[in-house]
């Protein structure tokens, strides 16, 4: 048999190490999370409308070009 520890011992060690690393993390405050979430939502809506209108414009322009060319 090998000298490698059993899987459940390795898993337990992994969980302990992961917990220790999570204690070192600097977590954002609630206000920071709310503010960045609002920025992401606004940017998503803006770019959604932008892409929608650009798509509509290019579809219109291509249909006009196609009608012009034949």
- Quick: pLDDT tens for 4-55: 778 889 999 999 999 999 999 999 999 999 999 999 999 999 999 999 999 9
The per-residue pLDDT for 70 is 76
Q: Where are the alpha helices (DSSP H) in the chain?
A: 7-24, 30-69
The per-residue pLDDT for 30 is 97
The per-residue pLDDT for 68 is 92
Cβ neighbors of 13 (< 8 A, separation 6 or more) are 5
The per-residue pLDDT for 1 is 54
- Under the banding of pLDDT at 50, 70 and 90, the label for residue 2 is low
What the block records as the tokens of 25 is: 């993390």
**Rounded to a whole number, what is the distance in angstroms from the first to the last CA of the chain?**
78
């Amino acid at each position: 048999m090998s000298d490698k520890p059993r899987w459940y011992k390795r898993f337990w060690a992994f969980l302990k190490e992961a917990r220790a690393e999570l204690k070192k993390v600097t977590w954002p405050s609630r206000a920071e999370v709310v503010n960045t979430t609002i920025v992401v939502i606004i940017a998503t809506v803006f770019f959604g409308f932008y892409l929608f209108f650009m798509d509509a414009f290019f579809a219109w322009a291509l249909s006009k070009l196609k009608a012009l060319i034949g």
